[in-house]
Amino acid sequence: MRELSNLAMTLKGSIIREMHTAAAGMTDILNFTVGEPDFVTPQPIIERAYKSMLEGKTFYSQNRGILALREAIHQHHKEVDGTNIEADPEDNILVTIGATEALQLALLATINPGDEVIVLTPCWPNYLGMIAVAGGVAVCVPGYEENGFAPNPEDIEAAITPKTKAIMINSPSNPTGAVLPKSTIDEIAGIIEKHDLFALVDEVYRTIVFDNQKAASLTKYPAIKDNIIFINSFSKTFAMTGWRIGYVIAVPELISKMTLLHQNFANSIFVPAQEACITALEECLPDSEKMTESYEKRRNIIVKGLNDIKGFSCVQPGGAFYAFTNISEFGMPSREFCLKVLKNTNAVTVPGVGFGKSTGRLNLDHFIRVSYATADDKINEFLNRLNDFSQKFFASK
């Protein structure tokens, strides 16, 4: 066989999938790896998709997504969500295969080979792969544990070079659950304006925010509205991860080019799933709010529980459903630690080393990611097993 492309040979697989493989064949598994709700999609959404299929709506749709869904997205952001973002359904919105495709299309539409993209770490590992696919160079700027993993805007400014083209912002964050404070967002907005950067604003967790707070958003700054590429999905908000529906809102010139790229990747999205998303926006926000209430309760359980166990330290996340937990007292790399936990407790977690690049004082090998999008009884059992593991580990020292 002829040799494969350099890109195919250099891309790395997901460390999350690596842990799944390590747990394959084991029984009595407690899985705290996957970043998806444990709730079933609300019934009205399912019924709308079923009705649409019975009506024979199983053909190709418009490349940008059906107009009715784009109009529903427009109304949602205008009347409900409160984002200060131009979302004309004809010109500013593209429906995509989840937020993942939206992010990749945005990078392909804005990045030339060698262009640099600022990534705030810890980060979702796919960011680095997506930037590589687009031919760009990821420049990681760390957020530190003592600041709740929020970056220092001065570090962002210092990382910018003549090659810097874009910055990726994810708040609430995967993997830390960090919700960037408004003061930080203010300064990042100023940096974007000063350097005329594209801003890929990944807000797929924007509805999952705790303590009666609302996440500050770069969409609120008129001076950079043409720089903003706003990306969202239905996956986390409505427990629809398997449906694979997301969208991007940006200026017409960018949406037009992203649509051309989308035509070459996917052409169009399954119509019954799109119609189901209309129902999600119009009828199922109360279901989403109940899910967020459950995540907040689980957050409280798991953060207290982890901090009560010797060797574990966890700052309280403000949103999403992840606890990025310090395990440095155990004195081993995060991959080795997770495999040891798996072997001794049958609990699957994710090594922190997989969430970006260690830079500055941030050593990702000192952390693991725990997803608490699971039932309370499983969380309590997980904490009990970790406590037993910790006691035995330190007793043997």
- What pLDDT sits at residue 13? 84
Q: Residue 38 pLDDT more than 70?
A: yes
Place of tokens 């760009």: 136
Residue 67's pLDDT band (boundaries 50, 70, 90)? very high
Compute the distance between CA of residue 369 and CA of residue 383 in angstroms, rounded to an integer: 14
CA proximity to 359, closest of 169, 191, 123: 123
Q: Range(s) for CATH 3.90.1150.10 in the chain?
A: 6-41+286-395
Residue 305's pLDDT band (boundaries 50, 70, 90)? very high
Question: Which range has the worst mean pLDDT, 71-80, 122-131, 132-141?
Answer: 71-80
Q: What is the pLDDT of residues 353-370, one digit of tens each?
A: 999 999 999 999 999 999
CATH superfamily of 6-41+286-395: Aspartate Aminotransferase, domain 1 (3.90.1150.10)
- What pLDDT sits at residue 338? 98
Q: What is the pLDDT of residues 142-186, one digit of tens each?
A: 999 999 999 999 999 999 999 999 999 999 999 999 999 999 999
Contacts of residue 329, defined as CB under 8 A and 6 or more positions apart, other chains included, come to 310, 311, 312, 313
- What pLDDT sits at residue 282? 97
Architecture of domain 43-283: 3-Layer(aba) Sandwich (3.40)
Q: What is the pLDDT of residues 231-282, one digit of tens each?
A: 999 999 999 999 999 999 999 999 999 999 999 999 899 999 999 999 999 9
- What pLDDT sits at residue 82? 67
Centre a 10 Å sphere on the Cβ of residue 366 and count the other Cβ atoms it contains.
Answer: 20
- What pLDDT sits at residue 14? 85
What end-to-end distance do the CA atoms of the chain give, in Å?
Answer: 52
Percentage of residues of the chain with pLDDT beyond 90: 91
Give the strand pairing for 30-31 and 347-348.
Answer: parallel
Is 97 within 8 Å of 242 (Cβ atoms)?
A: no
- What pLDDT sits at residue 81? 72
Collapse the DSSP code of 64 into the 3-class scheme (helix H, G, I; strand E, B; otherwise coil) and give the result. Answer: coil
Give the strand pairing for 367-371 and 93-96.
Answer: unpaired
- What pLDDT sits at residue 25? 86
Compute the distance between CA of residue 98 and CA of residue 333 in angstroms, rounded to an integer: 33
Q: Residue 300 pLDDT more than 80?
A: yes
CA proximity to 106, closest of 131, 83, 140, 141: 131
Whole-number average pLDDT of the chain: 96
- What pLDDT sits at residue 163? 99
Q: Range(s) for CATH 3.40.640.10 in the chain?
A: 43-283
Residue 222 one-letter amino acid? P
Six-digit token pair at 300? 């409280």
CA proximity to 95, closest of 276, 286, 285: 276
Compute the distance between CA of residue 179 and CA of residue 77 in angstroms, rounded to an integer: 20
